[in-house]
Structure 1
């Protein structure tokens, strides 16, 4: 590892004026260990770089440098030709997932930093000659992307992956044709961002993190080219789920969400702020930061109390008090408070969370967690009943992520086979 990275990390820590003991405690590592890292006696790992980024609020700078020291320069920007080349390669490239969870997470931090730098640029884009507008065509594509979002909610990601990839291919072809006016082309870039996000999310949901990372990167590139901060922040909020679902990467998830919040702070609606705050809380629950997690959940609830806004992005139809409480329940369970988790899950249902009808994939996950909370409270009857409900939701869903959640619950229940209900549930498969 180049000495320059260590020097930069040391300089940033010193500039923060944090004493060693406080810094090490916030970073989650021993003081002696971090001193050895800075002195070159220990390697700079991805987890250490992410801790420095998080505590020093560097926007992922050190993880970016670690992931690709030869070519990732903090502040480097993308340009239109590179963006179109990247998007074209995505739709024509291989579907082989060559990245592991850890390398994909580091690359996401690189993409987030580049996205923020691109948006901070002078805003000049390639000029497009005046052409007839394509509003009707754009409306049709918007409708199809909205349909795919609902399809993902109700049936899972299995079919959505290929369908969204097809939509992205069409949008890229329309952009490169040069047949539309500037306004339409800008809108096409925003839709390319959403289509790439859908592909990325479907890939992650199917257990393919490397493919997900590449399409999340494409979503950020397209949003920067269209100067659409909202679509990029939305993509980052899903990339954050990939990170906090990967061991050792919750700190990166927090950094991604901080980048998203920073870029939309001037134009985010209350609903957008609520979504970002709730997902930040969930990431913080994985890091173990109970106090800040609670604060972010309060921010989310208060933002939603402002009600809907005429400028709410169409993609945020699912953000309501029920969803926020389900996220709060997941966070409480992760923080080791099953009683609070059950209270939050119950509050979500009381807020008319439409899981069974509209969001069975997500509901299967939340129900599996509720069943785990009942198990932690030694209520096997309630745990089995809730687990059966989760299995019914999963029965109509193609989602490796949801299936993994339920499999984990089955493993926890397996030590209680003396209970007839548990035994029957496990035998039913």
Structure 2
């Protein structure tokens, strides 16, 4: 964990464009001393972390990571079934988000490593008594989780957080009832993993990365206890979005996705591989790895070419050519190629991407990025048209993440207020 902290500190210092002499002077430490800290020859002390936060204006992020390290090291162990204890604690715990984005990312990395090691280690032979008609109730719970996924797509995460908490609370109660056999218990833990993932995603989408991290961790623990690497890999794919949406955390997102890909390499369907490859491409674009990003997109498209499989997870209903091309467009824009971004966004629409009807929250984000690409190509009319479309999508959605994306577009458009349609869009709010 300290190695990742040093790397984060190094990347943030380099991104500031400060020379070593200036940085050391403002930090109040010797240049050689700080070089040794970053190289691992000296410890990252509270004073050094605080100095980096102060000079780089990172809002106490590095100090927070350092303070969180003992908790990360001494948290609930992964070498025995403990997901129920963790999930129960999360449901009873505070909803206050005290962890910053960098410390949340560090904790996610620790959870991913522990999850990978814990898979397959649950060797419990205890067989609770089976409940008559229990499978019917479990099917109802699973159906509700599926409905919540579509609820999130169409209405955003505002209400999802509490609804998913209710489902997780019910699942935990069913596990505690001890009225299910080992097969049903594994199914319940897989559903607990999905419910916790939904809570984590809702928290992230509403701007609470610390809460999201805790529930991502709980989701991974539940998937490990169910020995369900597919559920855990799906969770990591969303945790990766939290990481690559945080400046300086793209490489951590890539690492999370590599862990997911490795653990499902021989178990996942092509559609699952396509999703993980596309998310990897997006993370790689955030780190400027153009060639590798393109390679992952090619893998995603090739995987989709293999068609649907009967055992595709229900949660992958949204993975299709349209979504892959939207991710490709976002990646191209990130890599400084707005013309390619426009081509990919248009290809998504030609693939019948059902954004307005099925995915207005995600479509608002993609439309804002398409508008930014048109703006970079000096096509103000197209940029404004996409901006209006994004605003219409967002009108029915509760998502801080989507709203932030549109706010960023408004900032970029503000430089063109001399053009009437731009001015009218900005004035409309």
- Do the two structures share a fold, i.e. TM-score over 0.5? yes
CA shift for structure 1 position 85: 1.0
The match for 2:130 is 131
The match for 1:306 is 306
Residue 365 of structure 2 contacts residue 390 of structure 2 at CA under 8 Å; is this kept in 1? yes
- Aligned positions of 1:20-39 closer than 5 A: 37-38=38-39
- Aligned positions of 1:2-401 closer than 5 A: 37-38=38-39, 40=41, 43=44, 68=69, 72=73, 77-80=78-81, 82-119=82-119, 121=121, 123-125=122-124, 127-132=126-131, 134-401=134-401
- Structure 2: segments with no counterpart, 5+ residues: 7-13, 21-31, 50-64
2:396 match: secondary structure: coil
Change (3 A) 1:92 1:66: closer
Residue 67 of structure 1 contacts residue 106 of structure 1 at CA under 8 Å; is this kept in 2? no
CA shift for structure 1 position 394: 0.2
Change (3 A) 1:71 1:235: closer
Task: Give 4+ residue runs of structure 1 displaced > 6 Å after superposition.
Answer: 32-35
Residue 120 of structure 2 contacts residue 224 of structure 2 at CA under 8 Å; is this kept in 1? no
CA shift for structure 1 position 65: 10
Change (3 A) 1:40 1:346: same
Hey, what's the Cα distance between the residues in 1 that align with 2:72 and 2:205?
30
1:68 match: secondary structure: helix
Hey, what's the Cα distance between the residues in 2 that align with 1:88 and 1:106?
23
CA shift for structure 1 position 129: 2.5
Q: Once superposed, what is the RMSD of the aligned Cα atoms?
A: 2.6
1:402 match: secondary structure: helix
Change (3 A) 1:265 1:320: same
1:308 match: secondary structure: coil
Residue 78 of structure 1 contacts residue 221 of structure 1 at CA under 8 Å; is this kept in 2? no
CA shift for structure 1 position 292: 0.4
TM-score, reference length from structure 1: 0.85
CA shift for structure 1 position 168: 0.2
The match for 1:425 is 425
CA shift for structure 1 position 120: 5.2
Change (3 A) 1:211 1:69: closer
CA shift for structure 1 position 125: 2.6
Hey, what's the Cα distance between the residues in 2 that align with 1:71 and 1:296?
32
2:127 match: secondary structure: coil
Residue 269 of structure 1 contacts residue 311 of structure 1 at CA under 8 Å; is this kept in 2? yes
Hey, what's the Cα distance between the residues in 1 that align with 2:293 and 2:224?
29
CA shift for structure 1 position 90: 1.1
CA shift for structure 1 position 181: 1.4
Residue 171 of structure 2 contacts residue 188 of structure 2 at CA under 8 Å; is this kept in 1? yes
Hey, what's the Cα distance between the residues in 2 that align with 1:427 and 1:37?
48
Hey, what's the Cα distance between the residues in 2 that align with 1:404 and 1:287?
21
Change (3 A) 1:215 1:36: closer
Deviations 1:94-147 (A, max 9, x none): 1111111111111111111110110153x4136223323511001000110000
Residue 168 of structure 2 contacts residue 196 of structure 2 at CA under 8 Å; is this kept in 1? yes
Deviations 1:173-201 (A, max 9, x none): 10011011111111000000000000000
